[in-house]
Amino acid sequence: MEVLILSLYSGSLFLIVSTVAPVLLRTEENKDIAGRFYGRILWRFYKIAFFLLLVYLILGSAWRGLLLLLGLSLNVVVSMWLRSYKRRLGNIENYSFNAPERVRFRRVSYLSTGILTLNFIISVYMLIREVL
């Protein structure tokens, strides 16, 4: 059962990191709408992921579950900061590409995707360890 839960978590992370984020965040037009859509997907993913990791924590290894929950929690904190910063900025397209506000937003957005990628790598490593 633990392998199934970890597989679902890893697979959903893979989908977010490899498909959803690159497609939506690299769009040239309507960046504000694409970012809003990505944010909605991400917040729904967080709810599912936390549920999966709580079940994994109960059924599987405590330290592995805590490590994965910590990584996901870090991503949630970064996403919360991004959301509040975005609300303060308004439409991101109103700023030039090199405006300090937009550069800061972009860097933290990349940080968020990087943390998700790291979470994916860790979860795949743990999955392989569970199977072997």
User: How confident is the model over 5-64, as pLDDT tens digits?
Assistant: 999 999 999 999 899 888 887 777 787 888 888 889 999 999 999 999 999 999 877 888
Gap between the Cα atoms of 74 and 80, Å rounded: 10
| 22-35 pLDDT per residue, tens | 888 777 778 788 88
pTM exceeding 0.75: yes
Which residue type sits at 128?
I
Q: H helices of 16-131, where?
A: 21-25, 31-59, 62-89, 100-131
Least Cα distance to 38 among 102, 110, 88, 97 occurs for 110
Q: Is 31 exposed, middle or buried (0-12, 13-18, 19+ CB in 10 A)?
A: middle
Q: CA dihedral defined by 14, 18, 20, 26, rounded to 10 degrees?
A: 160
Residues 83-99 have pLDDT tens digits of 999 899 888 888 888 99
pLDDT attached to residue 90: 87
Enumerate the domain spans of the chain.
2-131
